[in-house]
Amino acid sequence: MTLVRSILNDSLYCLKNSKVRFIILALSIVFLNQLLSFIFSSQQDMAKAIMERINQSLVNLNSDYSEQQTNYLADQINQLIDILPYFYFPELLISAVTVCGTLAIINCLTDYGNANVMLVLGKIMSYLPGVLLITFASHLLILTGLGLFILPGVFLIYALMLAPIIKVINHANLIHALVQSIKLMFKNSQYLLPVCFCILLAKIIIPVLLAQLIINIPISIGIGRMIILLLNVGISIFFTTYLLRFYLLTTQKSYYKDQ
């Protein structure tokens, strides 16, 4: 556990030394999330309504179901498939931007000793296509795994966490990044699994506790949601930093210089 403590301290030190940059990144991601929610709100509401109708149709379906029921259910599923990309894209983009932004700030400090807005934006734009692709592939594998008795999906959630970082640092192709992530995550599970579990638990429990607290405070629901989202983004930034530091240390790379 000495290694874990060392990397945790190093990650906190990194975030502390560049706290203004990471706070701006977190606020920018929250703003982007609100913007995407506004743009895709009608499609997301439609997708939720279709899913509710599908669930209701499945509940009402019985052994003597009619052809009309079957056709209605098939029609609803086809509508959902058509609109699903609009429902899923904002979450995918936010996840990718969080990883790209964190890596961009750290790598700008490493390469140039500076992380001004233009340098960071340039790095983000160069990372984003590859990270979007690998994030989409990872989520697709995870959703497929969750559909297969749940456990394969849980396994993949853990196993593919390093894939975007490997993609960026090594300029790896899709398959190589996914395979290397699985190998490294399980080879170093004694160091990574406890931290991953604690981080995922924090992302579930802390927002729930904060939501209960916000209910008792006279602020709008919208502001409360933004605070919870900001906290979640902050946890994701810290976790990405931890995974990056762990990967660079265990592969004996030195991309980060103390600033």
pLDDT band at 258 (very low <50, low <70, confident <90, very high): very low
Residue 255 has pLDDT above 70, yes or no: no
**pLDDT (tens digit per residue) in 201-210:** 888 887 777 7
Q: What is the pLDDT of residue 73?
A: 66
**pLDDT (tens digit per residue) in 44-69:** 677 777 777 767 766 666 545 566 66
Taking residues 85-95, what's their average pLDDT?
A: 83
Percentage of the chain with pLDDT > 70?
A: 81
Across the chain, mean pLDDT equals: 82
Q: What is the pLDDT of residue 252?
A: 63
Report the candidate in 245, 241, 3 with the shortest Cα–Cα distance to residue 101: 241
**Conformation bin of residue 65: beta by default, left when phi > 0, alpha when psi is -120 to 50:** beta
Whether 197 and 59 have beta carbons less than 8 Å apart is answered as no
First CA to last CA distance, the chain: 26
Q: What is the pLDDT of residue 117?
A: 87
Residue 171, classed as helix, strand or coil, is: coil
pTM above 0.75, yes or no: yes
Residue 238 has pLDDT above 60, yes or no: yes
Q: What is the pLDDT of residue 259?
A: 37
Amino acid at 83: I
Q: What is the pLDDT of residue 94?
A: 92
**pLDDT (tens digit per residue) in 16-53:** 888 899 999 999 999 998 888 888 777 767 777 777 77
Residues 6 or more apart from 102 whose CB is under 8 A from it? 22, 25, 237, 240, 241, 244
162-166, 186-190, 208-212 — which one is most confidently predicted on average? 162-166
Taking residues 206-216, what's their average pLDDT?
A: 73
Domain extents for the chain? 2-250
3-state secondary structure 109-133: HHHHCCCCHHHHHHHHHHHHHHHHH
Counting Cβ atoms within 10 Å, is residue 170 exposed (0-12), middle (13-18) or buried (19+)?
middle
